[in-house]
Amino acid sequence: MSARETSSLIRGLRILESIAVAGKTNVEDLAARTGVPISTAYRYMRSLREHDYLTESGGLYSLGTRFALDPHRGGSGHLVQMADAVLRSLRQRTGQTAVLTVRVGSSALCLDRAVSPTPDYAPPRGTVLALDADASTTPLLAFAPASLVQDIADRQNRSAESIFGKLGLIRERGCDVTRGRPTPDTVVVGAPVFREGRCVCAVSVLGPGRALHGAALDRVVRMVRDAAGHLTGDLASADGAVAWIALENQG
């Protein structure tokens, strides 16, 4: 590799590192942090996005699907592999789509999913989601830094007290249930997963309101909590202790 190629590689890696730390950023802020011209930053980020190392939404860039490994490649060194059986079991037992999400800075990422035969909605792997999007992500927000929760409240012109109150209930109950998001008839049930006392991901079930109500909803809530507890136990095992969990320490 030539000196020019080496320099280009290092610059690209520094850009990825900066975005990983920020969680989500625009080109201007990235250029300022990395000290590269805006035109150069645009060129690198366009190339990284084209190869799925970055994803872009509304002018903001975050890490892309290359950082969500394929669960069917084998091995047990990644959270996706550890969670695969849990998601498939949830799908089979509930008949609905099961989803695995992680927090990446100030956003959430759909890391994997087990899709029901007739899904009403299922976020693609690698989809970047708001941390307060629905119950597939709110368990992550419930255990995020208070400063991040305050930032979200400020951006949305909402009362921080109301958001903190809701997140406190999620922590107390060990799960969340949302209705009407991301589609009008969708019900989502989500629960946090821990490793060494730290929330590292969330598991959830998404389905239509006609199927998730009353006693059926109560049953799914128990299943999601149990699945989250099962994965927490797996992450406490020898394999789980060394499993790579995407950007668990960011933001």
Query: E strands along the chain, which residues?
Result: 54-57, 60-63, 97-104, 107-114, 128-130, 176-179, 186-195, 198-208
Three-state DSSP at 155 gives: helix
Three-state DSSP at 105 gives: coil
Q: What is the pLDDT of residue 167?
A: 95
Q: Name the DSSP letter for residue 33.
A: H
Count CA atoms closer than 13 A to 99's CA, side-chain side: 28
> How high does pLDDT run on average in the chain?
84
Whether the per-residue pLDDT at 58 is higher than 80: the answer is no
What are the pLDDT digits (tens) for 108-158? 888 889 999 887 778 888 788 889 999 999 999 999 999 989 988 888 888
Q: What is the pLDDT of residue 75?
A: 41
CATH architecture assigned to 3-65:
Orthogonal Bundle (1.10)
Task: Please give the single-letter amino acid code of residue 60.
Answer: L
In sequence order, what are the residues at sequence separation of 6 or more whose Cβ sits closer than 8 angstroms to the Cβ of residue 8?
none
Confidence of residue 93 (pLDDT cuts 50, 70, 90): very high
Backbone angles phi, psi at 206, to 5 degrees: -115, 135
Nearest to 235 by CA among 190, 189, 203, 188: 203
Q: Select the more confidently predicted residue: 234 or 15.
A: 234
Q: Select the more confidently predicted residue: 59 or 167.
A: 167
182 close to 133: Cβ distance less than 8 angstroms: yes
**pLDDT, average across residues 26-49:** 86
Q: Domain extents for the chain?
A: 3-65, 69-241
Backbone angles phi, psi at 219, to 5 degrees: -65, -40
Distance CA 179, CA 209 (A): 8
- In the chain, the N- to C-terminal Cα span, in Å, equals 34
**pLDDT, average across residues 186-195:** 96
Confidence of residue 72 (pLDDT cuts 50, 70, 90): very low
Buried b (16+ CB within 10 A) or exposed e, 20-37: bebbbbebebbbebbebe
Distance CA 230, CA 214 (A): 25
Tokens of 229: 């507890």
Task: Please give the single-letter amino acid code of residue 38.
Answer: I
Q: What is the pLDDT of residue 66?
A: 62
**pLDDT, average across residues 44-65:** 79
Q: What is the pLDDT of residue 232?
A: 95
Tokens of 67: 């950082």
Nearest to 96 by CA among 127, 65, 138, 135: 135
What are the pLDDT digits (tens) for 151-188? 888 888 888 788 999 999 999 999 999 999 988 999 99
Whether the per-residue pLDDT at 3 is higher than 70: the answer is no
Torsion over CA: 234, 236, 239, 243 (sign) = positive
Q: Select the more confidently predicted residue: 133 or 25.
A: 133
Q: What is the pLDDT of residue 249?
A: 39
**pLDDT, average across residues 98-108:** 88
CATH number of 69-241: 3.30.450.40
**pLDDT, average across residues 180-203:** 94
Q: Is 69-241 the same fold as 3-65? A: no
